[in-house]
Amino acid sequence: MNRKNNLYLLAAMLFVALLAMPAVSADSHEDNQNTVDAAKENAKGYIAIGAGLAVGLAGIGTGLAQSNIGSAAVGAVAEDDKNFTNGLIFTAIPETVVIFGLVISALLIFVMGA
């Protein structure tokens, strides 16, 4: 997939995320308890979507970075076994990104969603 396609994919994801924005605010309907409850339930769904996006998008980022580093590392190891450790370390560097995504999603679910 070329870079343009990646951008399209990203734009499509953002669009879907926009669609998922809450249409009503829970606070403005205090007179109607049912509506408020429904909106709160709704909000939980949005939090779940957000948490999923946080891990998913971060995972894509890590994957893109790791694919290049990984292929270079495999090449280096094929040339000389001694490169294994360095290859492993370099390949592991972008993993931090997806861990950040994971932490954000955990915060979303456990702190916001609680």
Measured between alpha carbons, how far is 61 from 82 in angstroms, rounded to an integer? Answer: 28
Shortest distance in whole angstroms from residue 29 CB to another protein: 28
- Cβ atoms of 109 and 47 closer than 8 Å: yes
Among 64, 92, 48, 46, residue whose Cα is nearest residue 7 = 64
Cβ distance to another protein smaller for residue 27 or 81: 81
Shortest distance in whole angstroms from residue 98 CB to another protein: 9
Does 15 bind another protein (CB under 8 A)? Our answer is no
Does 50 bind another protein (CB under 8 A)? Our answer is no
Measured between alpha carbons, how far is 114 from 110 in angstroms, rounded to an integer? Answer: 5
Cβ distance to another protein smaller for residue 39 or 105: 105
Whole-angstrom CA distances from 97 to 39, 93, 100 are 32, 8, 5
Does 99 bind another protein (CB under 8 A)? Our answer is yes
Cβ distance to another protein smaller for residue 11 or 93: 93
Distance of CA 86 to the CA centre of its chain: 27
Does 100 bind another protein (CB under 8 A)? Our answer is yes
Q: Which residues sit at the interface with another protein, rule CB under 8 A?
A: 84-85, 88-89, 92-93, 95-96, 99-100, 102-103, 106, 109-110, 114
